[in-house]
Structure 1
Amino acid sequence: MRGKVRYVLTSSHTSQGFHTFIPELLREIPKIYILKGAPGSGKSTFIRLLGESLSEQGYEVEFWISAADPVSPEGVFIPQLHAAVVNGSLAYPIDPRYPGLTGDIIYMGDYWDKILIETHRQEIMGLCDEQEQHRHQATAALKSAAVIRETITKKVDAYLDGRKMEQLTE
């Protein structure tokens, strides 16, 4: 029987930059496996396939998803095993609190097909540069939206009667 699968939004870009709740989620988990490696090294694919496999074996799994890339999970938590596997190479680096005791690091670069990667060198470099540029553009757009929202809020607040608004909500 397939285990229950949940999806939890754990990270997002904001007008103040990227924010994640993963460090807070990891605090109470006794066993953590942290995947490190370059973009495209298979961290999210490994996390997704692991979660799917464990679910098929009957385990409950909780995929941790980022609004920045909802198709690529940032982590998977397995409650019955009291364990999580997370991408440790995000915008906010994640490392074990007590290395070797509560967390292990797995470097995905140890499993690369270096010859195949080299054949796609220019494409990989171009995509990595493009992703970084889009991340900067998204942050700038969110900052601009926050300024616009603040301006609108100030203008609207000048015409609202706070006491009447409170009466409506009671």
Structure 2
Amino acid sequence: MNKKIKNIFAGGNTKDGFHSFYKDVLSPLSRLFILKGGPGTGKSSLIKKIGRFYKDKGYTLTFLHCSSDTESLDGVIINELSLGVVDGTAPHIVDPEIPGVKDDIINLGDFWDRDVLIQNKNEIIRLKKNINHYFNTAYKHLNQSSLLQKNMANLYAPYIDKAMVKQIKDKLISMTFEDTSKNGNKGKESRSFAGAITPRGIVSFAGELTDKAAKRVLLLGRPGTNKSTIMKSLAAEAVLLGYDVELYHCALNPQKLDVVIIPQKQVAFIDASPPHKLETKKADDILIDMFALTVPRKIANNNKDEILKLQEDIIIQIDTARNNIRNAKDNHKKLENFYINAMDFSKMDEVFQQIISYRETNSSE
């Protein structure tokens, strides 16, 4: 499952507001450069430039995409060097763990003309308020969408065949771990998002993240049919047996899982039911319809109209949230222009050189 480029979201717009896995993603690194500064100060452009530099040298990279602007990057990790460069400003605030030893803060605000910004103070404040308003409104609609999913699940949750859920879980564990003897120490977990709710709607890297897996299990079914619960059980079993796992959380509800990958076993488990997107599907994918297998047909048929209405309302809430995130992005672009006009971008070459001059002692170069 090795690829030169890995794309993920380290944070996302969820029912609980902005949820961050930046600490989980960045803590294992040996060296981290944290970029601070306002919108339009060149953070994403610098991250892209650094990514291109190391990509051209053949390094394996992990790109951290921005959930609020799919054209921007929030970070890049150069895996072989255990080196990261990240946007550490709100909402994904990143602070140093060991300043000057592991982490360096680079303040791009040192390169702006404050007088230019003061001249546009009132408009900057207005745009900032607009952005906060649109994000808060989006989060309310995402929360409402999650509540509607719970209402849907409540229609059939009491009737779910729990014995069948356990049977499916046990079968998947048996299929994945032929040998259940412990493989040394406990495995490690990594957490992030495979997808995000963005101005463009739901964007997901689940397909490309799992495309090279020798075996993919696609779990289908409506909310509340234990898809995430089964994936959590599989992940827990893997860790207990000594296998590392990649956990990708649900873009709407970060308490749930959308994707679990066990690299050493070449297997991936994916929630492939709407509104999740899986662009690539393969003929040998294993499909498991949790709703069809665990909900009695009579119960499913009794609530068809109500479920259809709830599905429509869920889509409306997510789409309304997306529109608000898009409005926030539009205002953010306007805000960026004020900072772009105030910046001295000639200093950015010095920052670029400072970052690429770092080399891990065990680097091949």
TM range, smaller chain:
0.7 to 0.9
Pick the structure with greater CA Rg. 2
Is the contact between residue 32 and residue 104 of structure 1 (CA under 8 Å) also seen in structure 2? yes
Which deviates further from its counterpart, 82-91 or 35-44?
35-44
How far apart are the structure 1 equivalents of 2:153 and 2:119?
A: 53
Q: Is the Cα contact below 8 Å between 1:64 and 1:74 reproduced in 2?
A: yes
Give the structure 2 partner of residue 68 of structure 1: 68
Q: Which residue of 1 aligns with 2:58?
A: 58
Deviation at 1:92, TM superposition (A): 3.9
Distance 1:42 1:139 in 2: 27
Alignment of 1:10-89 (within 5 A): 10-89=10-89
Deviates more, 1:152-161 or 1:73-82: 152-161
How many residues are paired up?
167
**Residue pairs, 1:1-170, within 5 angstroms:** 4-114=4-114, 117=117, 124-163=124-163, 168=293
1:51 & 1:122 partners in 2: Cα distance? 36
Cα shift at 1:56: 2.3
AA of the residue aligned to 1:135: F
Per-residue deviation at 1:127? Answer: 3.5
Q: When the two structures are superposed, what TM-score results if normalisation uses the length of structure 1?
A: 0.83
Cα distance in structure 1, aligned partners of 2:27 and 2:166: 39
3-state SS in 2 of match to 1:109: helix
Query: Quick check: 1:96–1:103 contact (8 Å CA) kept in 2?
Result: yes
Alignment RMSD, CA only? 2.6
SS of aligned partner of 2:73: coil
CA distance in 2, matches of 1:80, 1:164: 44
Percent of paired sites with the same residue: 31
Cα separation, 2, equivalents of 1:164 and 1:102: 49
State the 1:129 CA deviation.
2.8
Distance 1:165 1:63, change over 3 A: closer
After TM superposition, give the deviation of residue 21 of structure 1 in Å: 1.3
Paired residue type of 1:145: S
Alignment deviations for residues 58-104 of structure 1 (CA, whole Å, 9 cap, x no partner): 33321111333332111100122221001111324211111111000
Cα shift at 1:139: 0.8
TM-score, normalising length: structure 2: 0.41
Consecutive unaligned residues in structure 2, runs of 5 or more: 168-292, 295-365
Is the CA contact (8 Å cut-off) linking 2:22 and 2:92 kept in structure 1? no
Q: Is the 8 A contact 1:39 1:128 kept in 2?
A: no
Query: Any idea what SS the aligned residue of 1:74 has?
Result: strand
Equivalent pair of 1:11/1:68 in contact (CA under 8 Å): no
How far off is 1:121 after superposition? 5.4
Amino acid at match of 2:73: P
Which blocks of at least 5 consecutive residues in structure 1 are unaligned? none
